């Protein structure tokens, strides 16, 4: 498939491959005349050899695209997204909930089930304030989801911590 790079999204003409990609793997949003995917989704598809990317008429290499993700502050989110997708999860944006991602249980999917987790991406050297941490947990609990903290270390390895609300 071939995608056209925009400022914040990638647009793909909805041929049968794009429709199948959206229908089976739940990438992006399908409109009548196009499939729109996020930059993070595009990077994952490029890495897997399923997407070539163009800006105007020039092809964008994976290295150029990774540099663009880093400039936009998306590289760490991409590493977590890639790890979760490679583990077989469906991952969608979590902006509505103040998180980076929503995560569906294996076998679940948008339109069939609700997402089970909100995922927050935290770099190893980040500082988390107690009030922020509390608000992450409160929001997740309020929307009936569990909080998954994805810690990214300097070697780009991801460690996950499940945070759940309990009543003593």
pLDDT at 85 exceeding the cut of 80: yes
Reading the block at residue 23, the tokens are 């229908």
Please tell me the pTM assigned to this model: 0.91
**Which region among 46-55, 146-155, 157-166 has the lowest average model confidence (pLDDT)?**
157-166
Of 125, 123, 96, the residue nearest 110 (C-alpha): 96
Domain extents in the chain: 2-71, 75-163
CATH class of domain segment(s) 2-71: alpha beta
Which percentage of the chain shows pLDDT scores above 90?
61
2-71 and 75-163 in the same fold? no
Of 37, 147, 162, 151, the residue nearest 92 (C-alpha): 37
Could you give the CA distance from residue 12 to residue 64 in angstroms, rounded to a whole number? 19
Confidence of residue 18 (pLDDT cuts 50, 70, 90): confident
pLDDT at 125 exceeding the cut of 90: no
Catalytic center residues: 104, 114, 145
Could you give the CA distance from residue 74 to residue 44 in angstroms, rounded to a whole number? 12
Give residue 124's pLDDT.
Answer: 87
Reading the block at residue 60, the tokens are 């964008």
Give residue 138's pLDDT.
Answer: 87
Mean of the per-residue pLDDT values of the chain: 91
CATH class of domain segment(s) 75-163: alpha beta
């Amino acid at each position: 498939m071939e995608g056209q790079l925009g400022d914040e999204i990638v647009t793909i003409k909805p041929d049968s491959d794009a429709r199948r990609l959206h229908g089976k793997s739940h990438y992006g949003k399908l409109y009548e005349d196009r499939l729109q995917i996020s930059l993070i989704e595009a990077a994952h598809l490029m890495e897997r050899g399923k997407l070539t990317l163009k800006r105007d008429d020039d092809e964008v290499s994976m290295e150029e695209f990774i540099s663009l993700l880093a400039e936009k502050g998306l590289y760490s989110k991409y590493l977590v997204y890639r790890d979760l997708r490679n583990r077989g999860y469906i991952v969608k944006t979590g902006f509505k909930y103040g998180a980076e991602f929503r995560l569906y249980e294996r076998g679940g999917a948008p339109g069939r089930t609700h997402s089970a987790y909100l995922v927050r991406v935290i770099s190893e050297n980040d500082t988390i304030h107690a009030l922020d941490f509390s608000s992450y947990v409160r929001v997740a609990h309020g929307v009936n989801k569990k909080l998954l903290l994805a810690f990214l270390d300097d070697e780009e390895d991801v460690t996950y911590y499940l945070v759940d609300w309990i009543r003593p």
